Structure 1
Amino acid sequence: MATMNVSLPNDLKIFVDSQVNHGNYGSTSEYIRDLIRHDHDRGQLRDALIEGARSPIATEVDSAYFESLRDQAQAST
């Protein structure tokens, strides 16, 4: 695993330390890794949403479409 040093203003270091001390994370590194993972996931979601918004409409979304979705959801339970 690679190592990275990060400089923080004192108020942010106090905040990070409080997150670790309150038992939310085992270490400062764990907290930072979690932040990076969430940011990465958010970027992937944003890209997927943009791709979906740019794609052509494949089917008409009407009451029959939603009924079909309900049927599929009930069949999968």
Structure 2
Amino acid sequence: MAQMNISIPEQLKGWAEARVAEGRYSSTSDYVRDLVRRDQEREERRKALLAAIDEGLASGVSDRDPFEYLEELRSGLRGRSADAA
């Protein structure tokens, strides 16, 4: 495993140590690794969202009536909830 040394203000160090003391993490390194993983996952979701937006914009304008389409979606949801019951 690679090693990394960082400098942080005392207040942030105390925060990280408090998380460890609560038992949520086994060490401050574990806490920092979790923060980096969460940031990485958030960035991947953000990129996926931007790609979906780009795809939607590139698809052009639909000729469908948006209210009819919305009703189709609602009907589908009602049908699924009836199946689940």
Range of TM-score over shorter length: 0.7 to 0.9
Query: Structure 1: which 5+ runs fail to align?
Result: none
> What secondary structure is seen at the aligned counterpart in 2 of 1:7?
coil
Query: For the aligned residues, what is the CA RMSD?
Result: 2.5
Equivalents in 1 of 2:27, 2:78: separation in Å? 44
Rounded Cα–Cα distance in structure 2 between residues aligned with 1:49 and 1:70:
27
Query: For 2:3 and 2:47, how far apart are their aligned partners in 1?
Result: 28
Equivalent-residue separation in structure 2 for 1:32 and 1:74 (angstroms):
45
Kindly indicate whether residue 52 of structure 2 is the aligned counterpart of residue 44 of structure 1: no
Q: How many residue pairs are counted as aligned between the two chains?
A: 77
Normalised TM-score (structure 2): 0.72
Structure 2 unpaired stretches of 5+: none
More helix by share: 2
* Sequence identity (%): 34
Bigger Rg, which one: 2
**What TM-score do the two structures reach when normalised by structure 1?**
0.78
Q: Which amino acid aligns with 2:45?
A: L
